[in-house]
Amino acid sequence: MIRTPLRPLARILEARSRGENPDAIERENIRLRHEEMRDRARRRAEGRLLVLAVFFFCAFSLVGGRMAVLAQSEPGKPRTSVAGASILAQRADIVDREGRILATNFDTHSLYAQPRDMIDPDHAADKLVEIFPDLDRARLIRDFTGTRKFLWIKKKISPEQQQAVHDIGEPGLLFGPREMRLYPNGSLAAHVLGGASFGREGVHAAEVVGVAGIEKYFDERLRDPARAHQPLTLSLDLSVQAAMERVLHGGMKIMNAKGAAGILMEVDTGEVVAVASLPDFDPNDRPAAPTEGNPDDSPLFNRAVQGVYELGSVFKVFAVSQALELGLVNPDTMINTQSPMQWGKFRIRDFRNYGPELSVTKVIVKSSNVGTARIAMDIGAARQRDFLDKLGFMQASPLEITEASGSAPLLPKNWSELSTMTISYGHGLSTSPMHLAAAYATIANGGRRVTPTLVHGATPTPGERVISETTADAMRHMMRKVVSEGTASFGEVAGYAVGGKTGTADKPKARGGGYYDDKVIATFASIFPAHDPKYVLIVTLDEPVETSGDEPRRTAGWTAVPVAAEIIRRVAPLMGLRPEIEPADLAAIRRASN
């Protein structure tokens, strides 16, 4: 750029010749130069503002265009419209130990409406009510003719319903693909499976999440995409489960019981082969949780793990086991059973008068409260509590369903000498049938603690030794006698040498204030075959009453025992147990030959 000199020589000479001041020429040139610089800076700033204006115009045009595209797109439920979030609908199957399906996925469709695209809302509402009678016609018309742009009608529909809706011919009724959880066996093992529902939802997909039972406990594993094709294998046997539930249901009806629970467990591994709670429900249409009334009035209540009650005389086995282990008694030790037994102002009585004394074996066979209480006095509160803790009666059951976490036994606030005596025969400590099954399995397998599980195939780690094999063998012998000549005579099943112990406990009132006079919890805890136990079976009836005789009978020997015997008779062959002749009692043979 050529700049004009501030003091051009020609003009300076000319100004001097005319007598003018040459400095005025310099000042004028400086002024002109500054004006030129100012104009140039203004033009540069105006150019930059123009570029910025064009940039902002393009940016706002892009945003506006994107908003227009989104406004014309298919809407989804707001809570699922998170940028970058994908809905995983895939969920692994659940199978039994033989690989038979217990829970799987089913491809179906959802039904939704875009009212602004509807041609005849009234006609569409009429037809939808015919297809889905539970819909409210007035509400549909209100929604179809209002300001809503999107409306869920049904989250899942059958192929037949989809075709019927399609035949309406309404362009505002649309379908979205969906995967739902299906339980092909209906209510079978309902309390174990629990159920599933929808989590995050969109028009084109829905996330299936577990809401109860094993579906919720293993929810993260079942939803893991990397393991979607690896089914979760349970320890349940579908055939055995079906047989148990059928017999248990019939027994509950015959015995006029409010509810029932049954548990079949392997004594060595703790695997639960079958577990049932009645009444039950269909997880395909899981009912809503009750908001009032007693929890056990709902079919959702799992009596096998949530039913925490005093279970009665089934606990006598533990008192005698501990006394044998401590060397305080042997099976032939004579125990004072003079009834009633006085302790302060309290009296402990037997169901019948068994005479002044009984052997330890007879205390179990006859189910003497007095005899068991005297044995417990020798054991003491501290040692009794420690022993029951080793058997698992101080913690919630570790079973792999969410409901088990709330099954912690109810312990006495003050474990006094009186508590020690009453707990020895099953009063003063409330627990669940699942706790009882694990404790009986500990005795049945030779004395090692058992942890119940619903997962098949896991390598079991031997539990700590609770009692010696000698003590366990003596207890199995006593439990066999309970069936062959004691309170559980109706439990005899030819070829399977059933052993066990009955328990009948008065049912406490729901809001405290003592016990009912005519309501009991009847339990039969059994092992079979008694000489070489493979399984433990627990049957518990809630408020049973047997009415075939002149007087109503509520004890476990008349109610729970026959039901358990029929279950064993049905399921033992299904599990590959062949009937066999029971080995003779060598000690009895020697006594008879002398």
What are the pLDDT digits (tens) for 332-387?
999 999 888 888 888 898 888 888 999 999 999 999 999 999 999 999 999 999 99
Cβ(240)–Cβ(274) below 8 Å: yes
Identify whether 38 is part of a domain: no
What pLDDT is recorded for position 82?
Answer: 42
Tell me: do 403 and 478 sit in the same domain.
yes
pTM of the model as a whole: 0.80
Number of domains in the chain: 2
Tell me: do 349 and 390 sit in the same domain.
yes
Query: How much is the average pLDDT of 484-489?
Result: 93
What are the pLDDT digits (tens) for 179-214?
889 999 999 999 999 999 887 776 666 788 899 999
Tell me: do 164 and 262 sit in the same domain.
no
C-alpha span between 156 and 75 (Å, rounded): 18
Tell me: do 372 and 467 sit in the same domain.
yes
Query: CA 8 → CA 28, 107, 424, distances in Å?
Result: 12, 95, 126
Tell me: do 159 and 283 sit in the same domain.
no
Tell me: do 272 and 168 sit in the same domain.
no
Show which of 216, 233, 250 is a domain's final residue. 233
What pLDDT is recorded for position 2?
Answer: 59
Cβ(364)–Cβ(316) below 8 Å: yes
What pLDDT is recorded for position 365?
Answer: 95
Query: CA 179 → CA 53, 100, 284, 389, 563, distances in Å?
Result: 50, 20, 13, 45, 40
Query: How much is the average pLDDT of 306-317?
Result: 94
What secondary structure does DSSP assign to 133-159, as a single string? TTS-HHHHHHHHHSS-S-EEEEEEE-H
Look at residue 178 and give its three-state secondary structure: strand
Identify whether 316 is part of a domain: yes
- Residue 403's beta-bridge partner residues? none
Domain that holds residue 313: 240-575
Tell me: do 332 and 449 sit in the same domain.
yes
Output the domain CATH number for residue 388. 3.40.710.10
CA atoms within 13 A on the CB side of 283: 28
What are the pLDDT digits (tens) for 19-70?
777 777 767 777 777 888 888 888 888 888 888 888 888 988 888 888 888 7
Cβ(233)–Cβ(99) below 8 Å: yes
Residue 22 preceded by cis peptide, ω within 30: no
Tell me: do 225 and 264 sit in the same domain.
no
Q: What are the structure tokens assigned to 214, written together? A: 């094993």
HEC string of 440-475 equals HHHHHCCCECCCCECECCCCCCCCCECCCHHHHHHH
DSSP, res 410 = B
Q: pLDDT confidence of 85, banded at 50, 70, 90?
A: very low
Q: What are the structure tokens assigned to 539, written together? A: 């049957």
- Secondary element (H or E) of residue 298: none
What pLDDT is recorded for position 84?
Answer: 40
Tell me: do 535 and 408 sit in the same domain.
yes
Residue 279 preceded by cis peptide, ω within 30: yes
What secondary structure does DSSP assign to 485-553, as a single string? HSTTGGG--TTS--EEEEEEEEEEPTTSSSEEEEEEEEEEEEEESTTS--EEEEEEEES--B-SSSS-B
The C-alpha angle 346, 348, 352, rounded to 5 degrees, equals: 150
